[in-house]
């Protein structure tokens, strides 16, 4: 099978190469007879245009980028990301885009990877997750005018396109529920302190406490990295207090489950002595004992909106809504 190019098709169809291109692009300026002649040959040979050449000429790769800021092993067990990736891929596919996934464990390699993706023009746009409160990537990308969408929130820059869970509302929901069911010594187990999501949920937690007239006690707030050891030691710190908390709102299900294990090891009964609420409503929740109550964030919606928004930016349309909030809801199970 000889290498297929538009030139070959053109020769076989007895037209010029420009015409072949026009037919394939659906240009209306080409008459029926020619169009059919070309399409016949294209069909017969199964010709598909070379994406590399298209990319160069059109300055578009039809590739979107997703960079995940975690070491591969911290990512490995996390169902949030496989869901996110799957949904973005799915959604991008609808518009004929593909997804390029990268990871970057260290801060240095993070910058390098953004530099590379941006400068080499390998991708048309980027989806960012796990933003920090002062995020150099975001400032950089904004300055360069490179299309990107944030999954999460970013305060300083107002023009940044973002799609976010209603994290403040979600944490409020969880904390409020615990308060209503009689808990009073509610602790907050956050992720890394620099993450926007950690701060937003802390905010919702505080607001709920206030609305019930329960004092906010900073010693009941701890932070952990996304690994079991860190989560366990943070939980232990909470449980050692006197009196110990009677409930924990955790940043995500993995942390909540790690806390559950630790609590059990300390002889705590869940939910009698300690109520637990996680985030993400991951499949895990159903499988642990007791089943974990969790705040469901709609990952598919999040992914869909982010992807659509990014594609709008990439294709130069002005998005109708630059910031979108996806509501969350509490899924009650047995742990709280």
Partner DNA sequence: GCTCCCTCAGAATACGATTTCTATTATAGC
Partner DNA sequence: GCTATAATAGAAATCGTATTCTGAGGGAGC
List the one residue from 7, 18, 40, 77 that touches a second copy (CB under 8 A): 77
Chain positions 293 to 332 lying near a second copy, rule: CB under 8 A, are 299-300
Cis peptide preceding 37, ω within 30 of 0? no
Residue 223, SS3 per DSSP: strand
Tell me whether residue 120 or residue 320 sits nearer to DNA (CB atom): 120
Binding segment for a second copy among 6-14, 74-82, 164-172, 181-189 (CB under 8 A)? 74-82
Residue 242, interface with DNA (CB under 7 A)? no
**Of 183, 187, 182, whose CA–CA distance to 216 is shortest?**
187
Residue 6, interface with DNA (CB under 7 A)? yes
Q: 120: how many CB neighbours lie within 10 A of its CB?
A: 9
List the one residue from 2, 43, 46, 57 that touches DNA (CB under 7 A): 57
Length of the chain: 336
Chain positions 223 to 262 lying near a second copy, rule: CB under 8 A, are 228, 254, 257, 260-261
| Contact assessment for residue 134 and residue 101, using Cβ atoms and an 8 Å cutoff | no
Residue 54, interface with DNA (CB under 7 A)? yes
What does 134 bind: DNA, a second copy, none (CB cut-off 5 to 8 Å by kind)?
none
List the one residue from 34, 45, 104, 325 that touches DNA (CB under 7 A): 34
Residue 155, SS3 per DSSP: coil
By DSSP bridging, strand 323-326 and strand 148-151 are unpaired
- Dihedral angle at the C-alpha atoms of 254, 255, 260, 266, nearest 10 degrees? 140
What does 87 bind: a second copy, DNA, none (CB cut-off 5 to 8 Å by kind)?
a second copy
DSSP run (H or E) holding 330:
strand 328-331
Q: Alpha carbon of 7 to those of 21, 29, 44, 47, 49: distances in Å?
A: 10, 20, 15, 11, 11
What does 43 bind: a second copy, DNA, none (CB cut-off 5 to 8 Å by kind)?
none
Tell me whether residue 49 or residue 192 sits nearer to a second copy (CB atom): 49
Tokens of 107: 């801060």
Tell me whether residue 15 or residue 270 sits nearer to DNA (CB atom): 15
Binding mask 284-313 for DNA (x = CB under 7 A): ------------------------------
| Contact assessment for residue 131 and residue 154, using Cβ atoms and an 8 Å cutoff | yes
Binding segment for DNA among 30-38, 98-106, 224-232, 312-320 (CB under 7 A)? 30-38
**Of 152, 146, 143, whose CA–CA distance to 126 is shortest?**
146
List the one residue from 1, 2, 31, 159 that touches DNA (CB under 7 A): 31
Tokens of 179: 């308060």
286-308 burial string, b = 16+ CB within 10 Å, else e? eebeeebbbbbbbbeebbbbbbb
168 φ, ψ (degrees, to nearest 5): -60, -50
By DSSP bridging, strand 148-151 and strand 162-165 are parallel
CB of 301 to a second copy, least distance (A): 13
Residue 61, interface with DNA (CB under 7 A)? no
What does 236 bind: a second copy, DNA, none (CB cut-off 5 to 8 Å by kind)?
none
Residue ranges in contact with a second copy by CB under 8 A = 46-53, 55-56, 59, 61, 63, 68, 70, 72-73, 75-79, 81-83, 85-87, 89-90, 93, 98-103, 115-116, 119-122, 228, 254, 257, 260-261, 282-284, 286-289, 299-300
Residue ranges in contact with DNA by CB under 7 A = 3-7, 14-19, 21-22, 24-25, 28-31, 33-34, 49-50, 52-54, 56-59
């Amino acid at each position: 099978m000889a290498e297929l190019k538009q030139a070959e098709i053109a020769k076989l169809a007895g037209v010029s190469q420009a015409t072949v291109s026009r037919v394939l692009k659906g240009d209306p300026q080409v008459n029926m007879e020619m169009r059919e002649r070309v399409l016949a040959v294209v069909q017969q040979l199964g010709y598909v245009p070379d994406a590399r050449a298209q990319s160069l000429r059109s300055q578009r790769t039809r590739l979107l980028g997703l960079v995940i800021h975690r070491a591969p092993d911290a990512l490995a067990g996390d169902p949030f990301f496989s869901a996110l990736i799957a949904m973005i891929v799915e959604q991008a596919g609808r518009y004929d885009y593909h997804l390029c996934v990268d990871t970057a464990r260290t801060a240095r390699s993070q910058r390098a990877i953004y530099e590379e993706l941006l400068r080499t023009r390998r991708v048309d746009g980027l989806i960012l997750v796990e933003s920090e409160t002062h995020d150099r990537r975001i400032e950089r990308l904004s300055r360069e005018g490179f299309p990107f969408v944030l999954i999460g929130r970013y305060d300083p820059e107002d023009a940044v396109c973002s799609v976010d869970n209603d994290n403040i509302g979600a944490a409020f929901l969880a904390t409020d529920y615990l308060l209503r069911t009689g808990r009073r010594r509610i602790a907050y187990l956050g992720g890394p302190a620099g993450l926007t999501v950690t701060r937003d949920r802390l905010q919702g937690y505080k607001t709920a406490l206030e609305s019930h007239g329960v004092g906010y006690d900073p010693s009941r707030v701890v932070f952990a990295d996304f690994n079991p050891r860190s989560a366990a030691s943070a939980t232990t710190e909470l449980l050692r207090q006197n009196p110990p908390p009677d409930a924990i709102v955790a940043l995500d299900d993995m942390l909540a489950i790690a806390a559950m294990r630790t609590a059990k090891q300390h002889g705590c009964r869940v939910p009698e002595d300690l109520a637990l609420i996680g985030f993400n409503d991951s499949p895990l929740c159903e499988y642990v004992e007791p089943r974990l109550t969790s705040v469901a964030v709609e990952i598919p919606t999040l992914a869909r909106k982010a992807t659509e928004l990014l594609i709008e930016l990439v294709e130069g349309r002005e998005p109708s809504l630059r910031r979108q909030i996806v509501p969350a809801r509490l899924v009650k199970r047995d742990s709280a």
